[in-house]
Amino acid sequence: MIVKILKILLPFLLVGAGVYGAWKIVESRPEVVTESMQMVVPTVRAVIAKSETHQLKVFSQGTVTARTETDLIPEISGKVLYVSPSLAAGGFFEKDEILLQIDPQDYKLALTRAWAEVAQAELRLEQERAEADVAAEEWEKLGGGVTASPLVLRKPQVAQATASLQAARATLEQAKRDLERTEIKAPFDGRVRRENVDAGQYVSRGNSLAQLYSIDVAEVRLPLPNEDLAYVDIPLSYRYNANSDNQGPEVLLRADWAGSEYVWKGRIVRTEGEIDTTTRMLYAVAQVEDPYGHGNDPDRPPLAVGMFVRAEIRGNLLSGVFVLPRAAIRGSDTIYVIDSENKLRIQKVKVYKRDHDRVIVQSGLEEGDVVCISLLETVVDGMEVQVVREEAIS
């Protein structure tokens, strides 16, 4: 009987114990303290806008070439007697230096024959003139007042002798020129790119013996995109002033050599006549005087043909602009200005030019404005910020 009563009461006892345990747990819980939510003020870096006069720069790159290149080609044929030590790949030479000597004996003999032909032609002309004078005198005595024909007066014979003398003198002049051409001289101060001739070799008229290039001036073709042409005063060639003396902007050429960077000064002298159909760029040509000289740096290498250089072209001079770090611009024309109460203000500006590390603002800023250059995920006009550092723009 007791067992049956326990079986009936046991579930109720268990439920009651559970309810009591739950009540004790709720009763002993700690009291929840309600705290007010605090706004996190973002910390930003900023620069102070300063109006200044700024020199624009346009950047390009190219390969050094020679202004003048030519093939050394003999105008006569013959055996080579002498080759200058300068006539070797990489060799330097001066203008009018004898680079090659061709055997002159055959041409000296030709010159002697030409002198003889001139003497014979002169003699024949004098004889024809004397015979013409005699014929004129005889006709005057015996002609009876009738006009003599030119043939009787030997005028055609005199003309033929005169022409023969002129031809002999031309042959003499040609012989002199051929003899002079046995000495092949350098046409300019330059350097040898390649040569394929040596002493004892027989060379023919018109065959290339060497390839030369000048060293007085080096040139670099610099591609410029259309948008950069607005920032630099590039000399353009028109039909009636192609020989204008208008000097282009200054250029600094930089190249790496043996682990160091070296600089050469040059100038834009012209633009090429066509727009590249593939890149749609205009090519400006920069010149550097005395590329193989040391300049002010005795350790500087020569600006050799084939060297790759980076170019910095001096552009237009702008007044009253603001130069900011590239991080200051948001989108195409927006910046964040921090007012005196450390409130962030969204402001539109007019951008003149962007570089890889800076932006030039033409209008929309005031002197002394504090410009945010930190990246913010969420921006609300008028939000409070904390400026950790204000730095001047270099």
Q: What is the pLDDT of residues 306-353, one digit of tens each?
A: 999 999 999 889 999 999 999 899 988 999 999 988 899 999 999 998
Supply 265's token pair: 């000064």
* Residue 58: CB atoms within 10 Å: 25
What pLDDT, on the 0 to 100 scale, is given for residue 267? Answer: 94
What pLDDT, on the 0 to 100 scale, is given for residue 304? Answer: 92
Contact 177, 205 (CB under 8 A): no
Distance CA 171, CA 111 (A): 9
Q: Provide mean pLDDT across the span 221-250.
A: 79
Q: Provide mean pLDDT across the span 169-196.
A: 94
Confidence at 212, pLDDT banded by 50, 70, 90: very high
Q: What is the pLDDT of residues 263-312, one digit of tens each?
A: 999 999 988 878 888 888 999 999 999 999 887 888 899 999 999 999 99
What pLDDT, on the 0 to 100 scale, is given for residue 268? Answer: 93
Residues in the chain, total: 394
Contacts of 330 (CB under 8 A, 6+ apart): 336
* Residue 204: CB atoms within 10 Å: 10
Strands 43-48, 386-392: parallel, antiparallel or unpaired by DSSP?
parallel
What pLDDT, on the 0 to 100 scale, is given for residue 388? Answer: 82
* Phi, psi torsion values for 195, nearest 5 degrees: -145, 150
Strand, helix or coil for residue 282 = strand
For CA atoms 328, 330, 335, 341, give the dihedral sign.
negative
What pLDDT, on the 0 to 100 scale, is given for residue 340? Answer: 87
Identify which has the larger pLDDT, 7 or 353.
353
What pLDDT, on the 0 to 100 scale, is given for residue 15? Answer: 67
- Placement of tokens 């014929």 in the chain: 135
What pLDDT, on the 0 to 100 scale, is given for residue 27? Answer: 67
Q: What is the pLDDT of residues 23-69, one digit of tens each?
A: 666 666 666 566 655 667 888 899 999 999 998 989 999 999 999 99
What pLDDT, on the 0 to 100 scale, is given for residue 26? Answer: 63
Distance CA 128, CA 162 (A): 9
What domains are there in the chain, each with its CATH number? 44-53+319-392 (2.40.420.20), 58-66+215-318 (2.40.30.170), 74-213 (2.40.50.100)
pLDDT at 392 over 60: no
Q: What is the pLDDT of residues 113-155, one digit of tens each?
A: 999 999 999 999 999 899 888 888 888 777 666 777 888 778 8
Q: What is the pLDDT of residues 366-382, one digit of tens each?
A: 998 999 998 888 888 88
pLDDT at 363 over 60: yes
Confidence at 182, pLDDT banded by 50, 70, 90: very high
Check residue 331 and give left, alpha or beta (phi > 0: left; psi -120 to 50: alpha): left
Q: CB-based burial of residue 121 (10 Å sphere; 0-12 exposed, 13-18 middle, 19+ buried)?
A: buried
Confidence at 3, pLDDT banded by 50, 70, 90: low
Distance CA 104, CA 79 (A): 9
Share of the chain above pLDDT 70, in %: 86
Contacts of 269 (CB under 8 A, 6+ apart): 235, 247, 248, 285, 286, 287
